[in-house]
């Protein structure tokens, strides 16, 4: 049996095997069964404590347990516990889709704990900087703890002004990638690579950019699923009253609202069938017109409350220019930035190879993660089975890219309006662009008769589509710098 990869930095204390092996590792002498038995009670206590409040303020604990029991995610929870000493709330919610969780967890572990160009404390500090842009105290607190565990300088946690200039130089590209990635240029890349005394190598910068986009997008998942702070997080922001202002989803699907929700499912199924039967192929000009219309209409899709919320001091100290936020790609009365034509710079032909060349294995891990979530299906939709959901998944993915100004020449954006109800569009845009504004009413307001696991799947599509969009802008800027 191969040893499990050991986490860099101290694990929670675990008893040694009978043979005196290193804690936190499986060994041939003690055997897998003995090792797992020795930790079973500790694992149960740990997970039970986490479940007292539940990992999500949007999803009842019973639903996570019930829907999770239908999957094969338990061994992934155990692997996460063995390697990190805990099962984080994000892991428990993602565990509703174990095929995806396996790829996500492997990618994140590689970015944070395996050999790479960035020192280990710097990796967690970059994660803190990224999460702070979206006021995500859950991730900020988590990585402050991880930063100290891998030997980070406690002084840096007093704020960006205490960090080395090299890390502070990331602030500009951090805020742009978080809120308006289409503004990234080769000049931003050049400024980081050619700064005297605190310049980045290209490999280091690629590593940092992947971490930044990973944690911007993970913040979207945290807010989109209402993830609660871990029980051991000091000062973690609990779910706000905004997140608790609505009734449970189960209450909404009873009575007349339940009948309405069922009718919505049937209507969506019918629209999907009609679109699949249509033989008319729109011209390129018409396809472009439909994209421009969808892009323009997205500016009217936004959460009702866009008022600024004061950042807590523990978050504000890691944020420069806190007023900088998302603005619609198409703004009335302003010159529109050029549309990013996906065929001109694709992940498959350009982004993947650039990352893999400078950061071995990471390109492959990211590609597997993108592919798994995009193709993930159980052929079910609410109460229906045997459903081809590819059209719906594609509409969600392409709409997310649309709000970031990315257009696919071969996609008819008329399908977006046919398949995505307004409440779903509001939810998608909020989670992708203003994740800290997400509340429970938005979560319960769309797909009212769908399973929670299906809504979590929407959040996984959001996470990955958002990350890929930002990465494409950043990698295109690097390519232009190199050429």
Long-range contacts formed by 143-148: CB under 8 A, 24+ apart = 145/233, 146/9, 146/112, 147/121
Q: Are 307 and 133 in contact (CB under 8 A)?
A: no
**Is the full-model pTM beyond 0.85?**
no
Residue 384: strand pairing partners:
381
Rounded to an integer, what distance in angstroms lies between the CA atom of residue 197 and that of residue 200?
9
Q: Dig out the tokens for 483 from the structure.
A: 């050429």
Q: Can you tell me which residue has the tokens 């061994």?
A: 75
Of the ranges 192-201, 209-218, 279-288, 409-418, which one carries the lowest mean pLDDT score?
A: 279-288
pLDDT digits (tens, 9 = 90+) for 342-381: 899 999 999 999 999 999 899 999 999 999 999 999 999 9
Phi-psi region of 159 (alpha: psi -120 to 50; beta: other; left: phi over 0): left
**DSSP letter string, 418-446:** HHS-HHHHHHHHHHHH-GGG--HHHHHHS
Average pLDDT taken over every residue of the chain: 81
pLDDT digits (tens, 9 = 90+) for 388-425: 999 999 999 999 999 999 999 989 999 999 999 999 99
pLDDT of residue 66: 72
Rounded to an integer, what distance in angstroms lies between the CA atom of residue 71 and that of residue 408?
34
Helix, strand, or coil here: 416?
helix
Nearest Cα to 147, choosing from 126, 166, 121? 121
pLDDT of residue 330: 62
The residue-averaged pLDDT of 304-313 equals 66
13 vs 85, 124, 239, CA distance in Å? 8, 22, 30
Nearest Cα to 338, choosing from 350, 330, 346, 347? 330
Rounded to an integer, what distance in angstroms lies between the CA atom of residue 359 and that of residue 123?
14
Whether residue 466 has pLDDT greater than 70: yes
Rounded to an integer, what distance in angstroms lies between the CA atom of residue 101 and that of residue 104?
5
Rounded to an integer, what distance in angstroms lies between the CA atom of residue 79 and that of residue 304?
41
User: Among residues of the chain, what percentage have pLDDT more than 70?
Assistant: 74
Whether residue 136 has pLDDT greater than 50: yes
C-alpha gyration radius of the chain: 22
The residue-averaged pLDDT of 263-275 equals 91
pLDDT of residue 302: 64
391 vs 96, 258, 271, 395, CA distance in Å? 22, 25, 11, 6
pLDDT digits (tens, 9 = 90+) for 451-460: 999 999 999 9
The residue-averaged pLDDT of 44-57 equals 62
Rounded to an integer, what distance in angstroms lies between the CA atom of residue 96 and that of residue 480?
40
Whether residue 312 has pLDDT greater than 60: yes
Q: Dig out the tokens for 203 from the structure.
A: 């490999």
Count Cβ atoms below 10 Å from residue 140 Cβ, excluding itself.
29
Of the ranges 125-139, 239-253, 381-395, which one carries the lowest mean pLDDT score?
A: 239-253
Instruction: Give catalytic status of residue 136 as yes or no.
Output: yes
Q: Are 131 and 120 in contact (CB under 8 A)?
A: no
Whether residue 26 has pLDDT greater than 90: no
Residue of higher predicted confidence among 260 and 240? 260
* 281 sits in which H/E element: none
Query: Angle 461-462-467 (CA atoms, 0-180°, nearest 5)?
Result: 100
Rounded to an integer, what distance in angstroms lies between the CA atom of residue 347 and that of residue 336?
24
pLDDT digits (tens, 9 = 90+) for 298-308: 666 666 565 55
Residue 340: strand pairing partners:
406
Whether residue 480 has pLDDT greater than 90: yes
Q: Which of 19, 27, 136, 317 is catalytic?
A: 136
The residue-averaged pLDDT of 18-27 equals 34
pLDDT of residue 311: 75
Rounded to an integer, what distance in angstroms lies between the CA atom of residue 268 and that of residue 387?
12
Helix, strand, or coil here: 407?
strand
Whether residue 297 has pLDDT greater than 90: no
């Amino acid at each position: 049996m191969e040893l499990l990869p050991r986490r860099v930095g101290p694990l929670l204390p675990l008893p040694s095997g009978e043979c005196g092996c290193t804690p936190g590792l499986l060994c041939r002498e003690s055997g897998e069964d003995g090792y797992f038995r020795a930790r079973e009670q500790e694992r149960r206590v740990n997970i039970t404590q986490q479940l007292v409040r539940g990992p999500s303020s949007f999803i009842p604990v019973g639903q996570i347990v019930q829907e999770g029991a239908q999957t094969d995610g338990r061994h992934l929870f155990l692997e996460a516990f063995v390697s990190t000493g805990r099962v984080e709330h994000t892991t428990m919610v993602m565990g509703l889709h174990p095929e995806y969780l396996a790829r996500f967890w492997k990618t994140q572990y590689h970015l944070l704990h395996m050999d790479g160009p960035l020192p280990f404390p710097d990796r967690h500090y970059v994660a803190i900087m990224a999460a702070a842009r979206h006021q995500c105290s859950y991730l900020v607190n988590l990585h402050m703890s991880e930063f100290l565990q891998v030997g980070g300088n406690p002084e840096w946690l007093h704020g960006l002004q205490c960090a080395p200039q090299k890390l502070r130089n990331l602030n500009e590209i951090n805020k742009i990638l978080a809120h308006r990635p289409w503004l990234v240029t080769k000049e931003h890349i050049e400024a980081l690579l050619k700064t005297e005394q605190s310049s980045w190598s290209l490999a280091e910068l690629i590593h940092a950019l992947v971490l930044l986009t990973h944690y911007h997008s993970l913040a979207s998942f945290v807010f989109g699923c209402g993830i609660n702070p871990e029980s051991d997080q000091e000062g973690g922001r609990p779910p706000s009253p905004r997140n608790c202002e609505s009734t449970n989803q189960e209450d909404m699907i009873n009575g007349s609202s339940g009948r309405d929700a069922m009718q919505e499912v049937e209507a969506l199924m019918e629209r999907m069938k009609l679109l699949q039967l249509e033989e008319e192929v729109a011209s390129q000009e018409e396809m472009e017109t439909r994209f421009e219309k969808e892009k323009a209409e997205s500016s009217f899709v936004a959460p009702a409350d866009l008022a600024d919320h004061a950042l807590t001091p523990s978050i504000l100290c890691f944020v420069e220019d806190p007023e900088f936020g998302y603005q619609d790609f198409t703004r009335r009365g302003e010159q529109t930035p050029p549309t990013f034509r996906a065929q001109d710079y694709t992940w498959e032909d350009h982004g993947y190879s650039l990352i893999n060349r400078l950061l071995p294995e990471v390109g492959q891990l990211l590609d597997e993660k993108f592919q798994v979530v995009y193709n993930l299906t159980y052929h079910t939709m609410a109460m229906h089975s045997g459903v081809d959901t590819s059209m719906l998944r594609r509409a969600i993915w392409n709409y997310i890219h649309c709000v970031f100004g990315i257009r696919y020449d071969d996609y008819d954006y008329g399908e977006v309006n046919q398949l995505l109800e307004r409440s779903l569009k509001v939810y998608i845009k909020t989670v992708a662009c203003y994740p800290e504004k997400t509340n429970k009413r938005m979560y319960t307001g769309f797909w009212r008769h769908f399973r929670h696991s299906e809504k979590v799947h929407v959040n996984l599509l959001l996470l990955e589509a958002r990350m890929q969009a930002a990465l494409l802008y950043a990698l295109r800027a690097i390519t232009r710098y190199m050429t």
